Each structure stands twice: as C-alpha cells, then as structure tokens.
Amino acid sequence: MQSMYTRRTFVTLAAGVAALGLGAGMAWQRGWGATLWNPLLLRVTGRRTVEEVMDSMSNAAFGRLQPALVAAGFGEALPPKLRFVALKEERLLELWGERNGFWQFIKTYPVFAASGTEGPKLQEGDRQVPEGHYRITHLNPNSAFHLSLGIDYPNPADREQAIIDGRQQLGGDIMVHGKAVSVGCLAIGDEAIEEIFALVARVGTANSDILIAPYDLRVRHGRDDRSWVTDRYAELTETLQNMAP
C-alpha cells in the first residue's frame, strides 16, 4: 500500500512538473509576462547590439526571405526603400520594396496579436494600435518580445490633432515585434520579426516606413464620424492606391 501511494505521488509530481514546463515553454514562446522577466534575463545574458543579433540570425532570416525577394524581381539585391502596410481588421502586415521608382509587393505576414478596434490611437492606455503613416525610428535588439522595430507615434499629425482636441498623454513606445501577445503594438511572431529586422538593418530605418490602416482601404471606403479621421483615411487610401503597380 505504501509503495502504491509513493508511486502515485511520484506520478502526480511528475505530471505537475511536466505541466509547469509545458506552461513555461508556451509562455516563453508567446511572450506572456515578457515585460516582467525580460529585464531579469538581460541582467544574466547582457544586452545585445544590432550587429550581434545580425551575426547570429541574419543568414537564416535572409534564407527564408530570399525566395520572396527573387519572386518580386529583386534577385540578390535589396530594395533601396521599404514600406510596411499593416491592416488591423485583416491582421496582416505586408512588406513592399521600391524597385525602379515603383513599389513592389514582396510578402505578407500574419499579425498574431493587436489590441483595440477600428480607429486611431488617442491617448495612453486606450490599447489602440495607431492609424496613419509613420516612420520606422529604430531597431531594438533587446526587446521583451524577441526583436522589435520602433514606430514614430505620435507623429506631427497626431500631436497637431491632439492640440486641436485638447488631448494630452498620447502614449507611445509603439512597436512591430515578435512573440504572439501585444497591447497597442503589432505582434508578428519571432521568425517574421527576424526577417524584417534583418532587412531594415540592411536597408536602413531612414529608408523604411509603415502605413497602418483600420482595414484594407484599397477595397473598402474609409469613413468615420470624426472628419479628421475620415481625412486621414483618405490620405492613407491615396498613398496605398499610388503604390499599385
């Protein structure tokens, strides 16, 4: 009887340990709690540079990306300029590159997580993903979500409209990043962020930007009760239509 009890206890403990391990692995993969444990991890491993990250993963990242670049007509060369198109409702991130003065579609990535709903970001804590035309400001090799690209929200248009509306504390620190959880940012998974991180590192943040739309404005008319939002959708629509081959 004692032996059977001991065996059952061992099996229960083993199952519990396995479940904890599985849960921890899933949490790591998806990025749950990353903002809490990442600072501790960096204390142990040290902070990485963009160059160190590129040395460790750029060959694999470009190996995955190369077929799409070749199919888009770039061959072994890189686009001189990059543009990302994020579609919130469709949960897609398109990658485009400039070739001979025209924009050429390269690849689409699924967006695994993006909080909020249709409509622009207005203030800190509203959980909204911004909408508009933004610059890529920097690469973050020490992101809590594997790797990330910074977006220049709030941009001058956002700040100007906030003054008109009397809004303050607009929020910020908006990123395209890895993993599969996000609040106000765009989470596209680790392999995808490695590809676009490596590409932007080579092409340059100064030559990269992003359009973030509530949905695909190339096929649906953008309208909102606020006239300034409708005007912004019209600007996004025009820019998207001008990208068409």
The per-residue pLDDT for range 44-71, each reduced to its tens digit, is: 767 899 999 999 999 999 999 999 999 9
Contacts of 26 (CB under 8 A, 6+ apart): 32
State whether 30 and 68 are in the same domain: no
Count of Cβ atoms closer than 10 Å to residue 91 Cβ:
15
36/174: higher pLDDT: 174
193/45: higher pLDDT: 193
Q: How confident is the model at residue 183 (pLDDT cuts 50, 70, 90)?
A: confident
State whether 37 and 89 are in the same domain: no
State whether 18 and 70 are in the same domain: no
Q: The pTM is what? A: 0.83
pLDDT of residue 129: 96
Q: Which percentage of the chain shows pLDDT scores above 70? A: 82
Query: Containing domain of residue 14, as a range?
Result: 2-45
Among 222, 238, 130, 231, which Cα is nearest to 184's? Answer: 130
pLDDT of residue 42: 55
Whether the pLDDT of residue 163 is over 60: the answer is: yes
State whether 101 and 36 are in the same domain: no
Cβ-contact 105, 94 below 8 angstroms:
yes
Report the number of distinct structural domains present in the chain. Answer: 2
Residue range 78-94, pLDDT digits in tens: 999 999 999 999 999 99
- The residues with which 87 forms a beta bridge, in sequence order, are 92, 213
Q: What value does the mean pLDDT take over residues 123-148?
A: 96
State whether 101 and 27 are in the same domain: no
Count of Cβ atoms closer than 10 Å to residue 9 Cβ:
10
Q: What value does the mean pLDDT take over residues 28-45?
A: 58
pLDDT of residue 15: 39
